[in-house]
Amino acid sequence: MNASARALARGVWGSRSGRLGAVLSGLVVVAAVVSLVWTPYDPTRVDPAASWAPVGTAHWFGTDRLGRDLFSQVLVGARTTLLVAVAATAIAAVVGVGLALLATLPPRLVSEGVAHLVDVLLAFPVLLLAMVLAAVYGGSRWTAIVAIGVGAGIGLGRVTRGEVRRVLGADYVLAARAAGAGTGRIVRRHVLANITPTVSVQLSLILGLSVLTEAALSYLGFGTAAPTPSWGRMLAELQPYLTLRPLTLLWPGLAVVLTVLGFNLLGDGLREAGDPRLLERPAEGAGGAPRTAPAAEAPAIASASRARLPWARGAGRT
């Protein structure tokens, strides 16, 4: 972990929402990891004798109609959720940043075309895309991952394009270009480094969105296929008993809510830590700020923007 990442982590932990988000997200990761080595029961093992067992020491969250242990299912479901969320978010990052670059860097005719295409694609809901994919290739985790990743990536591309344009217009980029830096170097050293805060906040929101979408798709039968436990499928299977056995639905529902909340709060924390305009006090130094690249090549601008901060925040309070 390099210095800037450490500072970012400190910043996230320092904010209340960031800390809560980190704890909740961490909980999901721990549940997923624990489920790899231990679950109280085999989550798919049916036990007629334990049908609808109540919450208790034998079954912490009770059981479903087939006598399957709900706690074990929630644990293993965390694995599914995390896999889909992380993989989809990775795809979204690649698709989103790629689209943003394509919509700014090439000659005007191409870049404007891509930008408009993104605007059009934005009109297709992710759920619909996922259903189309599932109809063609069959519902599975992977169709869900691809659909969520591509769908969210398009939205990300739309947001990121503005950021890329802003960075490309910045003085330090002009300076770098004047110094003879090629497009590739500018993208690597300046653009990617400077859009990272915005993109990472967006990605943490996409993490949360992926969790929700995966649950929705599995609920509708287009996502994770049986018998792999998934929170969405648990909700679908238990939903008819909503009025009869509401407690059974509480667990997967709570798991989804807390996970989404965790990822979103983590995003808030990241934003606060990564956005200098929200900092309470001046950064300890250029080296500790997240924007390494501009700090190195355009220290004047970076420190100038930071220099205003205490005053701005102070003014807001008085």
Instruction: Point out which residues bind other proteins (CB under 8 A).
Output: 42, 44-46, 48-49, 51, 65-68, 221, 225-227, 237, 239-241, 243-245
Query: Least distance in Å: CB of 250 to other proteins?
Result: 17
Phi-psi region of 51 (alpha: psi -120 to 50; beta: other; left: phi over 0): beta
Note the residue count of the chain: 318
Q: What angle do CA 234, 235, 238 make, to 5 degrees?
A: 80
Give whichever of 136 and 179 is closer to other proteins, judged by the CB atom. Answer: 136
Give whichever of 142 and 241 is closer to other proteins, judged by the CB atom. Answer: 241
- Alpha carbon dihedral 123, 157, 275, 293, in 10-degree steps, equals -170
Query: Least distance in Å: CB of 236 to other proteins?
Result: 9
Give whichever of 44 and 111 is closer to other proteins, judged by the CB atom. Answer: 44
Query: Least distance in Å: CB of 49 to other proteins?
Result: 8
Tokens linked to 28: 């999901």
Tokens linked to 196: 């990272």
Query: Least distance in Å: CB of 82 to other proteins?
Result: 23
Whether a cis peptide bond, with omega within 30° of 0, leads into 252 is: no
How far apart, in whole angstroms, are the C-alpha atoms of residue 181 and residue 47? 67
> Is-contact 273 13, C-beta < 8 A?
no
Query: Least distance in Å: CB of 158 to other proteins?
Result: 36
Query: Least distance in Å: CB of 31 to other proteins?
Result: 22
Buried residues in 99-129 as b, exposed as e (16+ CB within 10 A):
bbbbbbbeeeeebeebbeebeebeeeebbeb
> Is-contact 97 192, C-beta < 8 A?
yes
Give whichever of 220 and 301 is closer to other proteins, judged by the CB atom. Answer: 220
Give whichever of 42 and 112 is closer to other proteins, judged by the CB atom. Answer: 42
Give whichever of 41 and 172 is closer to other proteins, judged by the CB atom. Answer: 41
